[in-house]
Amino acid sequence: MKKLFLLITALLLSVFLFCSPSFASSPAINAPSNGIGLHIVSTGHSALGNYVVFAPATGGSYATGASNPSDIAIYYPNVWSSVGTWDLTNVGILAGHTVAGVAVTWHTFPTYGFSGFNLALFDGSGNGYYLPFSGVEYNDFVGESCQQKWTTQFWVSSWNQPGYPLYVYPTQLTIWYN
């Protein structure tokens, strides 16, 4: 019964996305979670219209607390912030699992006075990807080990109070795993 529910829900979500006029013009967001046990693994546009490809989420998810330190800051635009870290190298529940998706949840203080906000997540090897939306699942690290040290940094293109701090509080790293 649960599988039938998931299949019907996925079908309805595909029809909704297929018919949505804003879907074709929106930027591609890698593997957003739809909250029903399926991951969107691909989206696109063909001669027949927009399409969505779903795959079952076969593992689980692990959510951390805030990064260490819990706040990262910049004082000037176009300069990377200090580093926030999540060390998951010894988290037993993640042993042997690979990443299916990641999300960083954050907020800024102050919430105004800047533009061109860019937050990135980096793996233990220093490879990173921009995650433009707080709390949204992305699949940029798919297949990598969950058990590693993850870091985050940000920068802005303009800051109207140079010399004063602009803080980001990375409150959670969520990893979906297989």
User: Tens digits of per-residue pLDDT, 19-62?
Assistant: 333 333 333 333 334 444 455 555 565 666 665 555 555 689 99
Residue 169 is predicted with a pLDDT of 98
Helix (H) or strand (E) holding 154: strand 149-155
Domain boundaries, the chain: 2-56, 60-177
Tell me which fold the domain 60-177 belongs to: Jelly Rolls (2.60.120)
Q: How far apart are CA 176 and CA 178, in angstroms?
A: 7
Tell me the whole-structure pTM to 2 decimals. 0.69
Q: How far apart are CA 169 and CA 103, in angstroms?
A: 14
Least confident of 56-65, 87-96, 135-144: 56-65
Q: What is the mean pLDDT of residues 87-94?
A: 95
Neighbours of 149 (CB within 10 A): 13
Q: Which residue has the higher pLDDT, 51 or 124?
A: 124
The radius of gyration computed from the CA coordinates of the chain, to the nearest angstrom, equals 18
